[in-house]
Structure formats: structure tokens, C-alpha cells
Amino acid sequence: MIAVVDTSAIIRLFVPDGPLPDGLETLLRGAESGNHIILAPELMLVEAANVLLKKQRRDELTAAESQEILEIIQSLPIRLSGHSELMAGSLLLAGKYGLTVYDALFLELAQQKGARLYTCDEKLQRIALKLNLA
């Protein structure tokens, strides 16, 4: 299986403030053993660091915890994709569905790769379902 994971799903692995997308943990185990491929735009790392910083500023995480989580995220078996080949499609998707271009990057990557999108974002999940990506 080829899958795209968004930042909300990755963060939820470490900061359990709601349910994980069905099958995410199995997907990660399968990627570790080479049975699945997980993709994300490079933006995922920047967004993850930003979310961790926000949680740190709200005293939900310490600086050390944030750093440790970020290091673990960077070590996950996720293949990062550049943005340039995703931009045109992301702009179209963002305009059509009322998304940010940031969120549309994940959808566009899933479309280009024929992948399933794993997300905890309800709006993104609804659109992924419409596009047969969930």
C-alpha cells in the first residue's frame, strides 16, 4: 500500500488528543518492515515542529519533549516529497475545496501517487473521501 500521512495524524501518535486514523499504526509497522510506502510533503516536518512549539508554549510539552518527538518523527519511515511538482495541483485543489495550499499539498501528493490519505483533520478527510483517497 502507498499512503500519504498529514501532520495531524503524525502528531496524534505522540500527543493523543483524539483518535488516530483507522489503520495508521498498522501502516507504520508495515512501512518499517518494507510492506508499505508512506509519503508526505516536506512541509510535514515544518508543520510538526510548529505544532510542537505551540504545545510547548502552552506548557503541554517541555522543550526536551518537543525535541524528542521531532527527532522521532524525523526517524519514521516516511519518504518526503518536494513541493515544486505539487504546487499547480495544490493550488487548484485549494481553490476548489476551500483549503489552504498547505493542506492541499497532502491531497495532491495522494492524488499523484494513487495513495490513501491518513489525516485527523475532518475537513480534509471529507474531501479525501470525495476524491476516493480515504
- The pTM for the full model equals 0.93
Q: 45-103: per-residue pLDDT in tens?
A: 999 999 999 999 999 999 999 999 999 999 999 999 999 999 999 999 999 999 999 99
Average pLDDT taken over every residue of the chain:
95
β-pair partners for 17: none
Q: Domain residues of the chain, as ranges?
A: 2-130
pLDDT of residue 24: 92
Average pLDDT of 119-129? 96
pLDDT at 16 over 90: no
pLDDT of residue 86: 97
**Distance of alpha carbon 93 from alpha carbon 79, whole angstroms:** 22
More confident residue, 53 or 19: 53
Domain formed by 2-130, architecture? 3-Layer(aba) Sandwich (3.40)
Q: Which of 9, 41, 44, 42 has its CA nearest to residue 28?
A: 9
pLDDT of residue 17: 84
pLDDT of residue 18: 86
Give the rounded percent of residues in the chain with a pLDDT score beyond 90.
94
With 0-12 / 13-18 / 19 or more C-beta atoms within 10 angstroms meaning exposed / middle / buried, residue 15 is: middle
